Structures are given as structure tokens and as C-alpha cells.
Amino acid sequence: MIVALDYPGAQDALDMATRLSPELCRLKVGKELFTRAGPALVEQLQAQGFEIFLDLKFHDIPNTVAGAVRAAADLGVWMINVHAGGGRRMMEAAREAVDAGTHRPLLIGVTVLTSLSDADLAELGYAETAAQRVTRLAALAADSGLDGVVCSAQEAATLRAQRGDAFKLVTPGIRLAGDAAGDQRRVLTPGQALALGADYLVVGRSVTAAPDPLDALQRVRAELAA
């Protein structure tokens, strides 16, 4: 379980971390929080025992992405990601950069942003539907040596069948039964996502907006165990 720390600043993130437990979850630090609080926050969270998914979705020319990936790996984080749409040479450069380091985070690809509809993709000049493009980019990510992809739980079953057991599937859009979906369009419970083949669940507000976040985490654990 990966709890998304979607906060505008370090103090909110650190306050939430103290209400969680590294035994029960890892933490995701994304673009807003990292841009404000930077490597120092990542180091503070790691000092509290948490493993970190640094969700910066790198997308640039291969040389630049390789440098960014090296810098992220040097922070000692557990998982990092790049946009699969950056292409084979970009992903291979990222793979080489991780493998050349002493600390090797999991290297994950982002296929199609879930905010993009088929109509958005058509406007961008892509002839494929989002589902077709997810399949294509996941295959390219695997072929380029990435450890897995971020995908919706709905895509997990297909990708699990296509890519086999070792390919990591990281799935957001998780809600505990009874929680509000908020801005997410398609949500599944933790148990449903696991049954569809997810390896790691990204859970944000179902945990962080709960009156007792630790209790919410334990409820997710209980659901997964069941």
C-alpha cells in the first residue's frame, strides 16, 4: 500500500506521516510537494522509516531523463517513474541509469494519463483508443526494461495477462467501501484491485482524509487479507 501525500508543503506531509506507520504503508511524494519541499522532505520521511515512491513522471530526452533518474536513485527512494511516451531510447537510458547506481529503485512507466479520453487522444493525433495505447505502451515499457507500469485497476487484469507475473502493476483510483469518489471517475476497492492483479495500491484521500488515517490503513489491510 502506497499512501499519496498530496499536500502543498512539508509540514502537512510530515504531520500525516506521523499519523501513519512504515510497517503498514509506503508514501508517495509527487510534483507539488517535491517542488516545494524537495529532497530534504524525502530524507526526513525516509529517516522516519518510510519507503518513498517519488512520483515525478520524468519525460524528456534520454540524456536528461537518465540524469534525473540518477539523481532520484541517489536520494535512496524505493520507486520512481517515467512517461512511457518518451519512447524506447528514453526508457532504456533510464534503465541503464538505475542499473549503474548502487541503490536501485523500482523503475515504473506511466502509460496514458487517466485524465485523457479517447477524444483527447484523437485531438493529439493518435489513432488508437486509450485502452489500445495502454497495451502498446506497457509492452514497450516492458521491452525497454522497465519493472512495471502505473495503470487503473480496470486495466490491471488485461495487463497482468499480457505481461506476466513479474511485471509490477501500480494502481491508483482506490476507495474504501463507502468513501466518496471525489474527482476520480472509476474507483475500485482495495480487494477488487488486488483480485484484478494489482501489486501496489496507491491510496490517497481514503486514508489521508479519514478521521483516523491509521485506522483506515488497517481497514485496507484487513480487506486485503480477507
Q: Which residues bind to ligand C5P, rule: CB under 6 A?
A: 4, 6, 30, 114, 150, 172-174, 184, 202-206
CB of 158 to ligand C5P, least distance (A): 16
Helix (H, G, I), strand (E, B) or coil at 185: coil
Which residue, 140 or 150, is less far from ligand C5P as judged by CB? Answer: 150
CB of 203 to ligand C5P, least distance (A): 5
203 near 174, Cβ under 8 Å?
yes
The active-site residue out of 28, 31, 57, 168 is 57
Question: Is residue 57 annotated as part of the catalytic site, yes or no?
Answer: yes
Helix (H, G, I), strand (E, B) or coil at 113: coil
Q: Across the chain, how many H-helices and E-strands are there?
A: 10, 8
190 near 203, Cβ under 8 Å?
yes
Which residue, 66 or 156, is less far from ligand C5P as judged by CB? Answer: 156
Shortest-Cβ-distance residue relative to ligand C5P:
204
Which residue, 66 or 134, is less far from ligand C5P as judged by CB? Answer: 134
Question: b/e per residue, 123-144, with b = 16+ CB within 10 A?
Answer: eeebeeebeebbbebbbbbbeb
Rama region for 18: left / alpha / beta (φ>0; ψ in -120 to 50; rest): alpha
Which residue, 142 or 220, is less far from ligand C5P as judged by CB? Answer: 220
* CA–CA separation, 68 and 62 (whole Å): 10
Which residue, 144 or 206, is less far from ligand C5P as judged by CB? Answer: 206
CB of 4 to ligand C5P, least distance (A): 3
CB of 99 to ligand C5P, least distance (A): 25
168 near 160, Cβ under 8 Å?
no
Cα–Cα–Cα angle for 39, 44, 50, rounded to 5 degrees: 105
* CA–CA separation, 194 and 171 (whole Å): 9
CB of 30 to ligand C5P, least distance (A): 5
Active site residues: 57
